[in-house]
Amino acid sequence: MVKNTFTYNAIRGNDMADNQKTEPRDMTQFLKQLKQSSDFKTIQLSIGDKQLSISYFKTLIDEKLLQSHVILPLQERALDLDFRQLEDLKTWIPIEDIEMTGQVESIQAKLLKGCAVATLDKEFCKYALIELASIEGLRKNNDTENEFSVVGPKVGFVESIDTNIGLLRAQINIPTLVVKEILVGTTSKTRVAIIYIDGVTNKRNVKTVEQRLEQIDYDVIFDTSQLDQFISDNSLTPFPLFLSTERRDRVVYALITGQVAVVSDGSPYFITGPSTLFDFFLSPEDYYLPWILGSFFRMIRIFGVIFSLFATSMYIAITTFHYEVIPRDLLEPLIFSRRNVPFPPLLEVLFLEITIEFLREAGARLPTKIGQTLGIVGGIVIGQATVLAGLTSNILVIIVAFSALASFATPIYKMSNAIRFLRFPMIFASSIWGALGLFIGIGFLLVHLTRLTSLGMPYLVPIHPLRVRDLKDSFIRPSYQFTNKRPSYLRPDSSVKYKPGKVKRKNDLDRE
Amino acid sequence: MTYQRRVIEHAGYNAWISVMLTGIIMHLLIWMLYKILSSIEDSNDIVTINHKLFGKLLGNLINLAIVLYFVFGAFVKFKVYMEMIQVWLFPSMNFLPVSIVIALLVYYAVSGGIRSVTGISVWATIISLVSIIPQISLTFPFLHPMNLLPLLNHSASDILLSSKDMAFEYLGVETLLFLYPFVRTPEKSQKWAHFIMLLVTLLYLMILILAFMFFTEEQLRHTIWPTLNMIGIFEVPLLQRLEYMAISLWFIKIIAGISIFIWAACRGMKVAFHLRPRLSLIVFLTAITALCHFIIDHRTVERVSEIYSNIGVYFLYAYIPFVFLCVMIRKKLIKPI
């Protein structure tokens, strides 16, 4: 199961000493530790005959909020003698989230998440925690940047978990949408939310996700995609076992079909699971277009993936071993284009494929404007030059460019990465044993796919195990009249999504 | 792939009757298998049934024979395919590395348990169903329907003999003897089993009739791989000599067949002798790879596959009805008590 966590647990032993250092027992020691940082501030206010001190991290809180909502009301009543105990702050300060506590652990946790700690000089062991967290540093724009669609909403998620859950709640407007929060990460203490719809999602899946998340022992959670790796069923696979997306409509769709969504604070990506291989080829746009077009484009996408996986390896197999397969009419241009090439097909293909990979990596890391230039320089200039220099053949440039193009057709980036990677084993297999090698590679791929599971659910469902009834929303996108049931392989608690009315359309001859 | 030639040896171009006949017999056998497996309580695979019927010692002897039969079947499948590769794809190839890699693949498939074995079989089924469509449509211009006439010019005994040869193609139904405990709803699955058997019979019939209409009888008698020769004629844009692709595509089916046989053998070893399946898996695969390496010439392969087919026929036509009878008698005997 979660292989990764074993190693982290092993490391845990050494970390015990560190952990104790960061978790002091009493308040004075804790404050002393905090005062080492220059962004830790303590201010003194005198109200009536009492001295109130407020401590906070300047960098974590919204200072305007502090001034207008905490200091100002307190100063206005500075001469008021009614102030007797700390609890009175609750009535004085116009901030709802004020907690009274004496526990060092919770003070520490809250203080580091952007609370101010107020205490009276004479009352020890009693502290008020005032929620003042600043949300600066988060981007304001929440367009989907990496999963674009022409039709449909462009609402994406941002790096704040509360905004994200708010976005979800705005669209799933029912009380049964459950958000469970846990803290993950020994150093970052990241809030991670498990989201599902009660009464729809199978409880076992929720429980599995929860257990696996709780087992994680890791220091800093940067992104949800890390969680994806920690909780996935099998870490020895190039395939993503959870769908990760930044689109709201995708997450909403996953939730209403009965999947579980997980998001961590600070990440614009949600992961949803259990997912099947087909989920990665669905695009929300399929559902916004008429079903005939949606189905057609989905099939194009699946074909694109198959093509980009096998096109270059097929080229190698045919040109190295099975030239009989090439028809006579095609043989001539092929020979002509390969006449100047001094390498065997394998080297030729590897050369071009690696060039394309360089272009992709460079393009992904560079700013958009330079990236475009790079695409032109790389694609056109290098491609043309290599052909002229006789390093590769014209036809191969076409095939490689096609397959690179086709691999971009997958709507989920992680899946297109997996396919990018899988091309190489296929290329090597077919360079050793031709078409037989290619099919040995395919055999390994198929067996591997059938062995994969996502949260215990077979990855290849509904093809294997065969679920004929759920096949309808896999290769094609059927009309909404037929997609009113949730897929049975998710074992949802209730299977009906909506009840379509009977459509009666008379295709009449002048209305008969 | 090669059955067209074998089937017409006796019955000539009336062999399509034999194919249908074999199909019907197979339906009967499936029905028997289901009866055997479902009629004894708390023992629903062949190993325990053998124990119950023939006692511990004799039963285990039979079980061992069955296990070896399955391994033998896997070997024959493997070797026949290797031969095909040698003849069509790589005449001068060193087959040891390939067989090791294929053995690894089988290991990977079988060690995933029943789920991955059936998974690869699902893919194989999809491939064979999908590949039949272009095959039919592309042969169409080359067919001579008159080849089929005269409709009846062979004796009944010839047709029966041919249908015995045909049984080789159906070998594999006996894996049900081990698969049965893993089927969740046996009653429903029986319907599917019959359905698939019907489909397979139709497929065989279709391919056979295509071959009949494509070749003359004399041609067909001298063609080892008629299907491949047929495919070799096709030309689609961008590709010709499609048999190279077809042979490679065939690989997935072969893997599925081998995996199921080996899985059944491992399962048998586990239930009968309490051996760890992983261990027996490794032993079987090494044995197969080694045997493949040492048996080289075509005559031996042919003889071996003939032996296998004979054993298989007896297994299907003698052993299963016998067990069926035993089970029925036992049921009758026990009931009054």
Q: Which long-range contacts (CB under 8 A, 24 or more apart) does A471-479 make?
A: A474/A278, A475/A295, A475/A298, A475/A299, A475/A302, A476/A291, A476/A295, A476/A298, A476/A299, A477/A282, A477/A286, A477/A287, A477/A291, A477/A294, A477/A295, A477/A298, A478/A291, A478/A295, A479/A291
Does the residue A388 lie in any domain? yes
More confident residue, B151 or A192: A192
- DSSP summary character for residue A71: I
Whether A458 contacts chain B with CB within 8 A? yes
Supply the pLDDT for residue B335: 65
Would you call B251 and A443 a contact, using CB atoms and an 8 Å cutoff?
Answer: yes
Would you call A446 and B248 a contact, using CB atoms and an 8 Å cutoff?
Answer: no
Would you call A446 and B89 a contact, using CB atoms and an 8 Å cutoff?
Answer: no
Name the token pair of A483. Answer: 């997609």
Please indicate, yes or no, whether residues A167 and A122 belong to a single structural domain of this protein. no
Does the residue A97 lie in any domain? yes
* % of chain B exceeding 90 in pLDDT: 16
**Three-class DSSP category at A440:** helix
Supply the pLDDT for residue B43: 64
Mean pLDDT within B181-200 = 84
- The number of distinct structural domains making up chain B is 1
pLDDT surpasses 60 at B134: yes
Question: How far out from the chain centre does Cα B272 lie?
Answer: 24
Q: Which residues of A touch B89 (CB under 8 A)?
A: 321-322, 434-436
Would you call B116 and A440 a contact, using CB atoms and an 8 Å cutoff?
Answer: no
Please indicate, yes or no, whether residues A274 and A310 belong to a single structural domain of this protein. no
pLDDT level of residue A15 (50, 70, 90 thresholds): very low
pLDDT level of residue B88 (50, 70, 90 thresholds): confident
Residue at a domain's end among A286, A303, A327: A286
Supply the pLDDT for residue B283: 92
Q: Which residues of B touch A326 (CB under 8 A)?
A: 239-240
Whole-angstrom distance, CA of residue B150 vs CA of residue A327 = 38
Whether A302 contacts chain B with CB within 8 A? no
Q: Which of A307, A402, A446, A489 to mutate to test the interface with B (most CBs of B within 10 A)?
A: A446
Please indicate, yes or no, whether residues A90 and A219 belong to a single structural domain of this protein. no
Would you call B116 and A451 a contact, using CB atoms and an 8 Å cutoff?
Answer: yes
Whether A444 contacts chain B with CB within 8 A? yes
- Give the model confidence (pLDDT) of A430-440 as tens digits: 999 989 999 99
- Give the model confidence (pLDDT) of A17-76 as tens digits: 444 444 556 777 888 888 888 888 888 888 777 788 888 888 888 888 888 888 888 888
pLDDT level of residue A292 (50, 70, 90 thresholds): very high
Most distant CA atoms of chain B, gap in Å: 72
Name the token pair of A141. Answer: 């724009």
Q: Which long-range contacts (CB under 8 A, 24 or more apart) does B299-307 make?
A: B301/B79, B301/B80, B301/B83, B304/B75, B304/B76, B304/B79, B305/B76, B305/B79, B305/B80
pLDDT level of residue A512 (50, 70, 90 thresholds): low
Mean pLDDT within A98-109 = 81
Please indicate, yes or no, whether residues A107 and A50 belong to a single structural domain of this protein. yes
Give, in degrees to the nearest 5, the angle at Cα A82 between A78 and A86: 85
Query: Is-contact A388 A310, C-beta < 8 A?
Result: no
Matching residue, tokens 């966590």: A5
Whole-angstrom distance, CA of residue B53 vs CA of residue A26 = 77
Q: Checking DSSP bridges between strand A453-454 and strand A270-273, what pairing results, if any? A: unpaired
Supply the pLDDT for residue A14: 44
Does the residue A22 lie in any domain? no
pLDDT level of residue A180 (50, 70, 90 thresholds): very high
Closest residue in A to B120 (Cα) is: A447
Average pLDDT, chain B: 85
pLDDT level of residue A269 (50, 70, 90 thresholds): very high
Q: Which residues of B touch A433 (CB under 8 A)?
A: 90, 98
Domain that holds residue B294: 3-334
* % of chain A exceeding 70 in pLDDT: 92
DSSP string across B275-305: --HHHHHHHHHHHHHHHHHH--SHHHHHHHH
Please indicate, yes or no, whether residues A297 and A214 belong to a single structural domain of this protein. no
Whether A462 contacts chain B with CB within 8 A? no
Mean pLDDT within A283-311 = 92
Average pLDDT, chain A: 84
Please indicate, yes or no, whether residues A318 and A270 belong to a single structural domain of this protein. no
Residue at a domain's end among A234, A256, A286: A286
- DSSP summary character for residue A143: B
Considering only CA atoms, which of A257, A262, A261 is closest in space to residue A278?
A257
Considering only CA atoms, which of B18, B9, B19 is closest in space to residue B221?
B9
> Which residues are A454's β-sheet partners?
A457
Domain that holds residue A95: 37-131
Supply the pLDDT for residue A17: 41
**Three-class DSSP category at A255:** helix
Least confident of A95-104, A214-223, A292-301, A392-401: A95-104
Would you call B122 and A449 a contact, using CB atoms and an 8 Å cutoff?
Answer: no
Supply the pLDDT for residue A328: 84
Supply the pLDDT for residue A124: 63
Supply the pLDDT for residue A505: 67
Does the residue A44 lie in any domain? yes
Mean pLDDT within B51-62 = 86
Considering only CA atoms, which of A117, A209, A445 is closest in space to residue B120?
A445
The CATH number covering residue B91 comes to 1.20.1740.10
Does the residue A14 lie in any domain? no
Whole-angstrom distance, CA of residue A251 vs CA of residue B289 = 49
Closest residue in A to B113 (Cα) is: A451
Element (H, E) at A99: strand A98-101
Please indicate, yes or no, whether residues A357 and A333 belong to a single structural domain of this protein. yes
Whole-angstrom distance, CA of residue A272 vs CA of residue A261 = 4
Please indicate, yes or no, whether residues A70 and A169 belong to a single structural domain of this protein. no
Please indicate, yes or no, whether residues A314 and A429 belong to a single structural domain of this protein. yes
Would you call A436 and B112 a contact, using CB atoms and an 8 Å cutoff?
Answer: no
Closest CB to A327 among B119, B240, B245 = B240
Supply the pLDDT for residue A2: 41
Mean pLDDT within A375-394 = 83
Q: Nearest-CA distance from A334 to chain B in Å?
A: 11
- Give the model confidence (pLDDT) of A111-163 as tens digits: 888 888 888 876 667 788 888 777 766 777 788 878 888 888 888 898 888 88
Does the residue A182 lie in any domain? yes
- Give the model confidence (pLDDT) of A441-481 as tens digits: 999 999 999 999 999 899 998 887 888 888 888 888 888 88
Whether B182 contacts chain A with CB within 8 A? no
- Give the model confidence (pLDDT) of B67-81 as tens digits: 999 999 999 989 888
Whole-angstrom distance, CA of residue A239 vs CA of residue B140 = 42
- Give the model confidence (pLDDT) of B248-305 as tens digits: 888 999 999 999 999 999 988 988 888 888 999 999 999 999 988 888 788 888 888 8
Please indicate, yes or no, whether residues A220 and A320 belong to a single structural domain of this protein. no
Residue at a domain's end among A457, A484, A504: A457
Considering only CA atoms, which of B271, B24, B296, B249 is closest in space to residue A440?
B249
Supply the pLDDT for residue A4: 44
Does the residue A504 lie in any domain? no
Please indicate, yes or no, whether residues A359 and A303 belong to a single structural domain of this protein. yes
Closest CB to B241 among A325, A436, A465 = A325
* AA letter at A426: M
Supply the pLDDT for residue B256: 92
Would you call A440 and B108 a contact, using CB atoms and an 8 Å cutoff?
Answer: no
* AA letter at A444: F
Whether A440 contacts chain B with CB within 8 A? yes
Q: Which long-range contacts (CB under 8 A, 24 or more apart) does B228-234 make?
A: B228/B1, B228/B84, B228/B88, B230/B135, B230/B139, B230/B142, B231/B135, B233/B139, B233/B142, B234/B138, B234/B139
Closest CB to B248 among A330, A438, A451 = A438
Please indicate, yes or no, whether residues A58 and A111 belong to a single structural domain of this protein. yes
Would you call A447 and B105 a contact, using CB atoms and an 8 Å cutoff?
Answer: yes
Mean pLDDT within B202-215 = 86
Does the residue A343 lie in any domain? yes
* AA letter at B274: H
Q: Nearest-CA distance from A464 to chain B in Å?
A: 6
pLDDT surpasses 90 at A213: yes
Q: Nearest-CA distance from A325 to chain B in Å?
A: 5
Closest residue in A to B103 (Cα) is: A440
Whether A464 contacts chain B with CB within 8 A? yes
Helices A368-376 and A345-365: crossing angle in degrees, nearest 10, is 160
- Give me the residues of A, 321-340, that contact B with CB < 8 A: 321-322, 324-327, 330
Supply the pLDDT for residue A168: 92
Strand intervals (E) in A153-296: 177-184, 190-197, 243-245, 260-264, 270-273
Supply the pLDDT for residue A497: 87
- The number of distinct structural domains making up chain A is 3
